[in-house]
Structure 1
Amino acid sequence: MLKSLSGALQLMRYFTAEQSVWGVRDLAAASGVHRAVVQRVLATFAEEGFLVQDELGRYALGLRWFELGEIVRHTLSPTDVVKPALSRLAQQTGETVFLSLLDGHEGLCLDMAHSGQPLRFSIEEGQRFALDTGSHGKAMLAFQSPALCDEVCRKARGHVVDRAALDAHLARIREAGWAYTSEEAVPGVSGLAIPLWSKDKRTVVGSLAIAGPVQRLDEQAVPKFLDALHEARQTVERAIGLIKRA
């Protein structure tokens, strides 16, 4: 029973922002699961409102996931506390601000606040991203186990990871306590991020980051932005059930 449930949930992980619609045949081929099993799983999820079917018979995520996601989002990131903190940080820095959590070998953008600038970096709530590129990912990866770093490098998509260079950068991040990158995740965009720690202060579980054009967010801007980031972290960590680092 539990094995069947695990297998069904594993199929749901194939529904991503990049591939949000699946036909039975295509999902069976991608997952390696027998077509009849995939058909039963998708039909069952559709009956319960977790999936919807289009006129071509393909499946997409249903509103039931959205309802559960809103519960999770408000549990991890109380809107009435986090949103004002992120908005205040965006106003102070003039750049886009986003809160991310570690989810397996990837990062997940949980909440954000847009810059008032006409030229700004954009990331969407619920968007996943690699941990080996960009300050928002590296601020988390720097404090993870070597085994997780191995997995991140092994599953890197669209690029080859220079492990020696990555390890050296992660070491500098651990020493400094913050991550700065320029044009790693997106051309023309720089990022500055700090880690978010667990209650026992032993594990980094997320990051708080700002991102903007390299012309505005250069290395000279780091010191003044760091103060604002650290101030915001105190509020954000408490709100999402974390505790500030001593």
Structure 2
Amino acid sequence: MTLKTLDGALALLTHFTVRQPTWGVRELAKHSGVHYAVVHRVLATFAANGFLVQDAATGKYSLGLRLFELGQVVRKSFSPDEIVRPVLEKLAAQSGETVFLSWLDGHEGLCVGLVQSQHQLRFSIELGERFPLYAGAHAKAMLAFQNDAFRDEVYRQGMEKMGPHTTLDRDTIEAQLAEVRQHGWAHTREEAAASVAGLALPLWSRDRSAVIGSVAIAGPQQRLGDDAVPRLLEALRDASGRLEDVIGFVR
């Protein structure tokens, strides 16, 4: 197997997400633009090795236990839940809002830690959910500190997903990112979802050379207005420091 073939096979695997956990061969081929025969061969190979399982009735594939096993290895080495979760729970209690930890994965964000608000009206995001980097405080806290080429690719992918008749207001986003870099934190309103505001801090690599994650608070904008920022920032900074110590970052 060549590296190009392996790369293509792994790319097909990334289509299995929280929102789309199962795929038939034909629908995945159509969605990915990869030939049916190639998709069929790749999915069958993954299934033979335990990375996927095929439903006997529908013929559709879903993620297998081998990936679950590998996920447990990642979970233990990346963010020990017994330590990370109490930090997120404390921040959720202090803020009264949904709190989540995100990881930069390729040119997208990935929610890897989550504590939901106890309020009936709250921001909704799922553990394991991916999100674009150009909307929301949790995303912009990461995107603001990436280089020009990285941001160019994020915008390109965003416009591709939106379709030919929709464009991103790149100049506005770039101005907002400049403010994030200046302040060191991101505060947004109604970007990731209607009537929702967010406040987030970036998380840096060990050598402080790159931002590779973020920790965020999100909820209704009437509860997360400008007047709430100073109070929440103090709690958010305390949480980010504790998280950095635990998951291999340093302040």
TM range (shorter): over 0.9
Q: Runs of 5+ in structure 1 lacking a partner? A: none
Q: Which amino acid letter does the alignment assign opposite residue 92 of structure 1? A: Q
Single out whichever of 122-131 and 10-19 deviates more from structure 2: 10-19
Q: How does 1:1-246 map to 2 (within 5 A)?
A: 1-3=1-3, 4-54=5-55, 55-156=57-158, 157-158=161-162, 160-244=167-251
TM-score (norm 1): 0.94
Deviation at 1:225, TM superposition (A): 0.2
Share of identical aligned residues, percent? 57
Deviations 1:81-139, CA, capped at 9 Å, x for gaps: 11110000111111110000101110000101122222221211110001100000000
Deviation above 6 Å: which 4+ runs of structure 1?
none
SS in 1 for 2:232: helix
Counterpart Cα distance in 2 of 1:195 and 1:39: 40
Counterpart Cα distance in 1 of 2:33 and 2:170: 31
Q: Which amino acid letter does the alignment assign opposite residue 60 of structure 1? A: S
SS in 2 for 1:205: strand
Counterpart Cα distance in 2 of 1:14 and 1:80: 30
Deviation at 1:37, TM superposition (A): 2.5
Deviations 1:223-243, CA, capped at 9 Å, x for gaps: 000000000111101111111
Length, aligned pairs only: 244
Single out whichever of 228-237 and 28-37 deviates more from structure 2: 28-37
SS in 1 for 2:197: strand
Counterpart Cα distance in 1 of 2:124 and 2:20: 20
TM-score (norm 2): 0.92
Q: Runs of 5+ in structure 2 lacking a partner? A: none
Counterpart Cα distance in 1 of 2:38 and 2:126: 33
